[in-house]
Amino acid sequence: MELDGDHEDGADGSGVKDSSLHVVTPGEVITNDTAFMRGHGTYIENEKVVSSVAGVVDRVNKLISVRPLHTRYTGEIGDVVVGRITEVAQKRWKVDVSARQDAILMLSSINLPGGVQRRKQESDELQMRSFFMEGDLVVAEVQAFFGDGAYSLHTRSLKYGKLRNGSFISVPPALVQRCKSHFHSLACGVDVILGLNGYIWVSAHVPQNLDEIDTELVYSNKNKDITPRDRESIARVGNCIRALADEFIFINDTIISFAYE
């Protein structure tokens, strides 16, 4: 179920969408009632709750907030995100996840090749580029926040890690809903990873048997050979996703399959 309800949660609870959408613009007074608490997207001036962004008003009991329509990704702990490495620093990588600040992937948060439980050594710190280089794409999970709001990511699971054999698409983050799994395998032989930050990875299907994954090859940079038919499927799925994003339709695996047919 969507966490941030995309219909106004009014006292009537009917969730009727069209007529009850309360759109506000910056500087517009939402309410004069001092009983309400203010949430995101608002500020208080002279005891009035005023909107600071253009968006839809969300009222949950006594909390009023405004959801802007275009915004950068703001994440929760446990979100699956796709990001691009922008910088290799001392014992960490900086990852661009289309948020306010680059996220941080610590060396201690990745699986080192040669076994999941292998201990970190000095030499690992010196050859960080052999794991992730600038420009690589990774799928990771948000582990925690730093004090200044930057996300800390981890790839401590065999389904996370470096991405290959596919292509990258960027959509507005608001269109990707939270669901049980973000790794989908479509009927046409294409895998889709929906990052909650709006970054999506479409790739050729790799039969995943978790017991047999060769941990030595987790950080390889070689793509496998992809047939032209697979490439066409990948491109077609990519175009479906772009078309859905242009029309501001929520993106999940069922709707992508539906658009593909």
Binding site for other proteins (CB under 8 A): 6-7, 17-18, 21, 23, 25-27, 41, 43, 45, 50, 52-56, 68-72, 86, 94, 96, 100-102, 148-150, 174-175, 247-250
Q: Residue 102 corresponds to which amino acid?
A: D
Give the nearest distance from C-beta 22 to other proteins in angstroms: 9
27 vs 228 by CB, closer to other proteins: 27
Give the nearest distance from C-beta 202 to other proteins in angstroms: 19
Give the nearest distance from C-beta 96 to other proteins in angstroms: 7
88 vs 188 by CB, closer to other proteins: 88
52 vs 185 by CB, closer to other proteins: 52
122 vs 148 by CB, closer to other proteins: 148
Phi, psi of 83 (to 5 degrees): -145, 165
Burial of 117 (0-12, 13-18, 19+ CB in 10 A): exposed
Give the nearest distance from C-beta 50 to other proteins in angstroms: 8
DSSP, residue by residue, the chain: --SS-SS---TT----TTTT--EE-TT-EEE--TTPEE-TTEEEETTEEEE-SSEEEEEETTEEEEEESS------TT-EEEEEEEEEETTEEEEE-SSSS-EEEEGGGSPPSS-TTPPP-HHHHHTGGGT--TT-EEEEEEEEE-TTS-EEEE--STTSEE--SEEEEE--GGGBPP-S-SEEE-TTSEEEEE-TTSEEEEEE-----GGG--GGGTT--PPPP--HHHHHHHHHHHHHHHHHHHTT--B-HHHHHHHH-
Give the nearest distance from C-beta 83 to other proteins in angstroms: 12
Give the nearest distance from C-beta 8 to other proteins in angstroms: 9
Rounded-to-integer distance, Cα 196 and Cα 250, Å? 12
4 vs 216 by CB, closer to other proteins: 4
112 vs 251 by CB, closer to other proteins: 251
Give the nearest distance from C-beta 29 to other proteins in angstroms: 8
85 vs 112 by CB, closer to other proteins: 85
